[in-house]
């Protein structure tokens, strides 16, 4: 593992020195070697930082592939006459061994920090835990936000009196007033075009800010900002911050692979709304405005993905985000949740997009539940439950409908409004037992027994007859029967089984609801 020369020289920053290293900011070394006069020059590992006296510099310079040389010139000394490349002269009355020890302790400390971060990340720690490991090494307040300006992680163990940082900590995101300031000063556009910056112009903070932007496939995903409230933005501090950012980038990449769209970390606001953690309506409105949430009509879609590979989820999320002009995506409790905006409250308003979307579901062999349309984000909890009920009813009928499948344009999508009668049914065990003992339940059990004995389909006939509002012609067309056959068989059923008076709307409603219950649950307890 390597550390930068800047990081290591911080260990002797209290001593006067002069550097003639050509690329000090970019130089990395893999360890420290103490070199004494007469020492071997052929068994030193490459990219080492060599420590020696000024007199030993000529011999030390013979070492192949060394990174740089730190030489002791004594207090009031001068730079070595023989001026090889990559020398840092230290003008202090100290022994090379003392300087070596300080540099080596610094190197070990940095490598230990890096190794702990790598091991903990491998063992599944959170980004927040990684951030808090930086306190002793970096010492400044650092915050990571996603592309919705939500606070994802920060160095909570390091206080910061910067006003913008304090507001973000309080709200959990940048309020709209702050985002408006970012936009008016051109910072949002700047961040879209740059990956790294140092801002000491004090536009937003009395401290120097060091920022890094993280992107995946060109998409702005996350943003880390170091506020230099305790330590100045010296080269070693910036290099340590960049080392931390290597791990932040890995978390961002991992989130992209696992959730791949939010697209981030998907829509954090949508996740907060679903979990109920976003309760302040004013804050919700601010965040909606920031994130471009649909302001008109919208619907919510739930797609179970717990048995699907993460890479497939990523591809589906990307396809969906490219298909709809207004969509927010969250991976929430093993489901992909979509909030889709529409200009009008019907699928016809976005028929092409809807059709293409349901083709995607068929392609990925997935099903979804779709809520009714709504125009107030406060209704998102109800829409979430609607999508669940539609999904449950649709999946159940799709696997084992006892009479017939619900005819729908989109067989992989279960819309709450289409499945409403089934969604309203209480199919708990106790209710099913009560239903089976009702007049309608007993009648259907008798018809089921007749069908089993005679190989007939009278349950299907009665269901179709009632769904067609007792019109024999339409029933016959649906069942491929002559209308006279329909009339005869219905009359025979009325004589054989106690159906009740079919002229009575309450009787018909009870029978039809019972047939729906039978279609969903069958006739067994």
pLDDT at residue 259 in the model? 47
In terms of average pLDDT, the best of 280-289, 427-436, 488-497 is 488-497
pLDDT at residue 222 in the model? 85
Which has the higher per-residue pLDDT, 84 or 339?
A: 339
What average pLDDT does range 193-219 have in this prediction?
Answer: 86
Burial bucket for residue 249 (CB in 10 Å: 0-12, 13-18, 19+): middle
Mean pLDDT, the chain, as a whole number? Answer: 83
Return d(Cα 286, Cα 178) in angstroms, integer: 11
What average pLDDT does range 135-159 have in this prediction?
Answer: 88
Three-class secondary structure of residue 335 per DSSP:
strand
CATH code given to domain 127-259 = 3.30.450.40
pLDDT band at 226 (very low <50, low <70, confident <90, very high): very high
Least confident of 213-217, 229-233, 382-386: 213-217
Return d(Cα 274, Cα 268) in angstroms, integer: 10
Least confident of 4-8, 16-20, 40-44: 40-44
pLDDT at residue 523 in the model? 59
Which has the higher per-residue pLDDT, 335 or 289?
A: 335
What confidence tens digit (pLDDT) does each residue in 415-456 have?
A: 888 888 887 787 777 777 787 877 888 888 888 888 888 888
Return d(Cα 32, Cα 44) in angstroms, integer: 10
| 117 strand-pairing partners | none
pLDDT at residue 312 in the model? 63
User: Does the structure show a pLDDT above 70 at 197?
Assistant: yes
What average pLDDT does range 409-418 have in this prediction?
Answer: 82
User: Does the structure show a pLDDT above 90 at 103?
Assistant: yes
User: Does the structure show a pLDDT above 70 at 314?
Assistant: no
pTM of the model: 0.57
Helix residue ranges per DSSP H, 298-438: 310-323, 351-364, 380-400, 420-424, 429-436
What confidence tens digit (pLDDT) does each residue in 61-92 have?
A: 888 888 899 999 988 888 877 666 689 999 99
Please say whether the beta carbons of 281 and 229 come within 8 A. no
**What is the CATH topology of the domain spanning 3-107?**
3.40.1390
Residue ranges of the domains in the chain? 3-107, 127-259, 268-415, 425-521
- CATH classification number, 268-415, choose in 2.40.37.10, 3.30.70.600, 3.40.50.620, 3.30.300.30: 3.30.70.600
Return d(Cα 256, Cα 262) in angstroms, integer: 8
Least confident of 179-188, 222-231, 338-347, 459-468: 338-347
């Amino acid at each position: 593992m390597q550390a930068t020369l800047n990081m290591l020289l911080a260990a002797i920053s209290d001593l006067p020195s002069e550097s003639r290293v050509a690329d000090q900011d970019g130089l990395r070394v893999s360890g420290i070697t103490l070199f004494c006069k007469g020492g071997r020059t052929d068994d030193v590992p490459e990219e080492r930082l060599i420590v020696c006296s000024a007199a030993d510099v000529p011999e030390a310079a013979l070492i192949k592939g060394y990174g740089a040389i730190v030489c002791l010139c004594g207090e009031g000394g001068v730079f070595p006459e023989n001026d090889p490349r990559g020398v840092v002269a230290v003008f202090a009355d100290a022994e090379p061994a003392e300087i070596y020890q300080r540099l080596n302790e610094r190197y070990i400390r940095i490598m230990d920090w890096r190794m702990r971060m790598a091991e903990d990340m491998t063992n599944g720690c959170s980004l927040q835990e990684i951030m808090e490991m930086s306190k002793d090494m970096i010492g400044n307040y650092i915050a990571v936000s996603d592309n919705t300006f939500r606070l994802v992680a920060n160095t909570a163990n390091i206080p910061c009196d910067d006003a913008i940082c304090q507001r973000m900590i309080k709200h959990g995101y940048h309020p709209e007033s702050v985002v408006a300031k970012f936009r008016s000063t051109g910072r949002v556009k700047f961040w879209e075009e740059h990956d790294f910056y140092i801002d000491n112009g004090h536009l937003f903070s009395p401290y120097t800010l060091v920022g890094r932007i993280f992107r995946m496939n060109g998409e702005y995903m996350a943003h880390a900002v170091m506020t230099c409230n305790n330590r100045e933005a010296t080269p070693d501090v910036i290099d340590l911050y960049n080392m931390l950012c290597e791990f932040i980038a890995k978390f961002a990449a991992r989130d992209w692979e696992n959730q791949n769209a939010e697209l981030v970390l998907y829509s954090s606001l949508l996740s907060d709304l679903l979990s109920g953690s976003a309760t302040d309506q004013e804050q919700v409105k601010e965040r909606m405005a920031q994130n471009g949430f649909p302001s008109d009509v919208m619907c919510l879609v739930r797609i179970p993905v717990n048995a699907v590979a993460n890479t497939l989820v990523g591809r589906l999320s990307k396809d969906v985000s490219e298909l709809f002009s207004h969509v927010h995506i969250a991976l929430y409790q093993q489901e992909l949740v979509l909030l889709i905006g529409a200009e009008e409250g019907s699928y016809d308003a976005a028929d092409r997009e809807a059709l293409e979307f349901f083709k995607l579901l068929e392609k990925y062999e997935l099903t979804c539940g779709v809520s009714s349309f709504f125009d107030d984000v406060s209704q998102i909890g109800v829409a979430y439950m609607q999508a669940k009920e539609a999904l449950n009813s649709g999946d159940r009928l799709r696997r084992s409908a006892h009479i017939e499948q619900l005819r729908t344009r989109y067989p992989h999508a279960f819309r709450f409004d289409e499945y409403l009668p089934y969604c309203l049914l209480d199919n708990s065990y106790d209710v099913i037992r009560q239903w089976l003992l009702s007049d309608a339940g007993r009648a259907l059990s008798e018809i089921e027994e007749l069908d089993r004995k005679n190989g007939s389909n009278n349950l299907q006939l009665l269901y179709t007859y009632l769904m067609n509002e007792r019109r024999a012609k339409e029933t016959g067309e649906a069942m491929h029967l002559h209308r006279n056959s329909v009339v005869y068989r219905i009359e025979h059923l009325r004589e054989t089984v106690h159906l009740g008076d079919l002229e009575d709307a309450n009787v018909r409603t009870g029978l039809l609801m019972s047939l729906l219950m039978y279609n969903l649950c069958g006739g067994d307890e």
